[in-house]
């Protein structure tokens, strides 16, 4: 306590009893891409007339200044005095040099230069990079390329930003079966990640590990790709051995079919997995409406078509099981499903927005109440917890995420002597019970029309 020794007015700062809980981000994905050590991309700048050395009258091996020079043989040309000549390129791993050997020895003092387009060398496998735009992504992982799996990742990240995403974390691995654990462990330490996707992966064992990662972190949701097409649609509703569907989980959504986008490599339409574009749709909906709005009935920007058209009758058999269809409706490519994997079998958590809203509430309250740890476990603390959590949920209700005309109808927070008896306090526990009425999407819109009797 301060001492007051002379008359006067004293103004003191008193710590506020209100410790605001801020909502966490819900739309930052972590992308895992299968990318080789060397990427053959036509968008890498061509090296023109790079000096190699001078002839000395022998079929001498000349060393290029770059190592390794990994390039397409069609782009590699050695010139003597400006004229192309026959030569071979090799990389010496021991000496760490790239070497050129001539078929015919150049004359003494002849100037020797090289033209070639080097392969892009991406960042080391297993290293996670934060990307806030597509240009930044290309610096680390390369541009569109001839490598199929690498191109899936590039299209995914491009589609993410094109559909409304603002930032994402990306890590590359060379083989999903042997390195997926390494990538997921790297993501585990990055708190902002709230979505996880491996563009193009349909391997069930890999999907299981991604879902297990989301469960372990308790604040993440997986976006899974289905196959590009399916000759027999019934396989989409059956788990592996008899089908291709992931195992039932409320921590993931599964989408079918793939989408067709413009690919600059082939200068035409290419079918690509939709998970990256959908992560962008999630981000756009979260930012414009809120995480409580289902990421469905939304246009996929950049999509030109789907790899397999689906009818309403087709979707009637897929939707109840949680196969989220991408369809062409009224000339637009739309996300036309909002269910977690398993659909009706997930009961209260069958909708994506409900599951993700719960994750949002859980993580926000977790991060916003860290101050409670080691505080005296008294009724005063219980009141503070109730007040702060109620204030946060009131704001969530005002945003439209909770159902009810009043906050009392939308949620309740209970932290009192009844759920904190002496035996729990002796264990160092303080227990708060929270109930929320999260809004459900209007999945089935029904109008009943009948004729009225004519009155005149």
Q: What is the pLDDT of residues 156-207, one digit of tens each?
A: 999 999 999 999 999 999 999 999 999 999 999 999 999 999 999 999 999 9
pLDDT at 76 over 80: no
pLDDT at 34 over 90: yes
Kindly indicate the confidence band of residue 90, based on its pLDDT and cuts at 50, 70 and 90: confident
Average pLDDT over residues 35-57: 83
Q: Give the chain's domains with CATH numbers.
A: 1-21+369-456 (no CATH), 29-37+123-354 (3.40.50.11780), 47-116 (2.60.40)
Average pLDDT over residues 124-145: 96
Kindly indicate the confidence band of residue 40, based on its pLDDT and cuts at 50, 70 and 90: confident
Window from 24-33, 138-147, 233-242, 246-255 with minimum mean pLDDT: 233-242
Q: What is the pLDDT, as a whole number, of residue 73?
A: 67
On whether the pTM is more than 0.85, the answer is yes
Q: What is the pLDDT of residues 271-284, one digit of tens each?
A: 999 999 999 999 99
pLDDT at 306 over 90: yes
Average pLDDT over residues 125-133: 97
Kindly indicate the confidence band of residue 102, based on its pLDDT and cuts at 50, 70 and 90: confident
pLDDT at 41 over 90: no
Window from 3-17, 174-188, 213-227 with minimum mean pLDDT: 3-17
pLDDT at 72 over 70: no
Q: What is the pLDDT, as a whole number, of residue 143?
A: 95
pLDDT at 290 over 80: yes
Q: What is the pLDDT, as a whole number, of residue 83?
A: 84
Q: What is the pLDDT of residues 402-418, one digit of tens each?
A: 999 999 999 999 999 99
Q: What is the pLDDT, as a whole number, of residue 241?
A: 80
Average pLDDT over residues 109-128: 86
SS3 labels along the chain: CCCCCCCCCCCCCCCCCCCCCCCCCCCCEEEEEECCCCECCCCCCCEEEEEEEECCCCCCEEEECCCCCCECHHHCEEEECCEEECEEEEEECCCCEEEEEECCCCCCCCEEEEEECECECCCCCCCCEEECCHHHHHHHHCCCCCCHHHHHHHHHHHHHHHCCCCCEEEEEECCHHHHHHHHHHHHHCCCCCCEEECCCCCCHHHHHHHHHHHHHHCCCEEEEECCCCCCCHHHHHCCECCECCCCCECCEEEEECCEEEEECCCCEEEEECCHHHHHHHHHHHHHHCCCCCCCCCEECCCCCEECCCCCHHHHHHHHHHCEEEEEEECCEEEEECCECECHHHHHHHCEHHHHHHHHHHHHHHHHHCHHHCCCCCCHHHHHHHHHHHHHHHHHHHHCCCECCCCHHHHEEEECCCCCCCHHHHHCCCCCCEEEECECCCCCCCCCCCCCCCCCC
pLDDT at 93 over 80: no
Please state, rounded to an integer, the average pLDDT across all residues of the chain. 92
Window from 95-109, 218-232, 359-373, 432-446 with minimum mean pLDDT: 95-109
Kindly indicate the confidence band of residue 1, based on its pLDDT and cuts at 50, 70 and 90: low
pLDDT at 434 over 90: yes
pLDDT at 227 over 90: yes
Kindly indicate the confidence band of residue 456, based on its pLDDT and cuts at 50, 70 and 90: low
Q: What is the pLDDT of residues 342-396, one digit of tens each?
A: 999 998 999 999 999 999 999 999 999 999 999 999 999 999 999 999 999 999 9
pLDDT at 294 over 70: yes
pLDDT at 96 over 90: no
């Amino acid at each position: 306590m301060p001492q007051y020794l002379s008359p006067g007015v004293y103004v003191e700062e008193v710590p506020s009893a209100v410790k605001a809980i801020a909502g966490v981000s819900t739309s930052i994905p972590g992308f895992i891409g299968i990318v080789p050590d060397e990427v053959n991309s036509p968008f890498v700048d061509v090296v023109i007339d790079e000096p190699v050395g001078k002839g000395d009258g022998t079929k001498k091996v000349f060393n290029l200044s770059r190592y390794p020079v990994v390039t397409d043989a069609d782009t590699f040309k050695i010139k003597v005095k400006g004229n192309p000549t026959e030569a071979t390129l090799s990389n010496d791993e021991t000496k760490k040099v790239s070497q050129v050997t001539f078929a015919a020895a150049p004359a003494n003092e002849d100037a020797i230069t090289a033209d070639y387009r080097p392969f892009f060398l991406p960042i080391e496998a297993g290293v996670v990079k934060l990307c806030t735009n597509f240009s930044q992504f290309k610096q680390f992982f390369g541009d569109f390329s001839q490598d199929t799996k690498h191109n899936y990742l590039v299209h995914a990240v491009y589609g993410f930003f094109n559909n409304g995403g603002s930032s994402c974390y990306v890590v590359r691995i060379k083989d999903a079966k042997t390195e997926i654990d390494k990538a997921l462990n790297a993501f585990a330490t990055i708190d902002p990640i709230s979505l996880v996707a491996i563009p193009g992966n349909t391997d069930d064992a890999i999907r299981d590990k991604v879902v297990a990662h989301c469960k372990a972190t308790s604040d993440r949701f997986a976006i899974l790709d289905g196959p590009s097409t399916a000759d027999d649609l019934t396989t989409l509703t059956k788990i592996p051995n008899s089908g291709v569907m992931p195992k039932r989980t409320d921590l993931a959504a599964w989408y079918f079919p793939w989408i067709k986008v413009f690919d600059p490599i082939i200068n035409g339409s290419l079918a690509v997995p939709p998970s990256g574009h959908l992560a962008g749709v999630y981000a756009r909906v979260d930012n414009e409406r809120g995480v409580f709005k289902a990421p469905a009935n939304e246009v996929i920007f950049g999509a030109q078509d789907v790899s397999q058209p689906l009818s309403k009758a087709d979707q009637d058999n897929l939707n109840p099981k949680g196969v989220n269809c991408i369809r062409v409706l009224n000339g637009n490519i739309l996300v036309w499903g909002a269910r977690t994997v398993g659909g009706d079998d997930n009961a209260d958590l069958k909708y994506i927005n409900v599951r993700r809203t719960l994750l949002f509430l859980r993580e926000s309250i977790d991060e916003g109440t860290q101050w409670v740890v080691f505080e005296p476990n008294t009724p005063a603390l219980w009141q503070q917890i109730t007040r702060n959590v109620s204030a946060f949920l009131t704001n969530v209700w005002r945003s439209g995420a909770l159902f009810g005309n009043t906050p009392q109808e939308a949620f309740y927070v209970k932290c009192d002597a009844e759920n904190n008896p002496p035996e729990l306090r002796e264990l160092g526990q303080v227990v708060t019970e929270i109930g929320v009425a999260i809004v459900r999407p209007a999945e089935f819109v029904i109008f009943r029309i009948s004729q009225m009797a004519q009155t005149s």
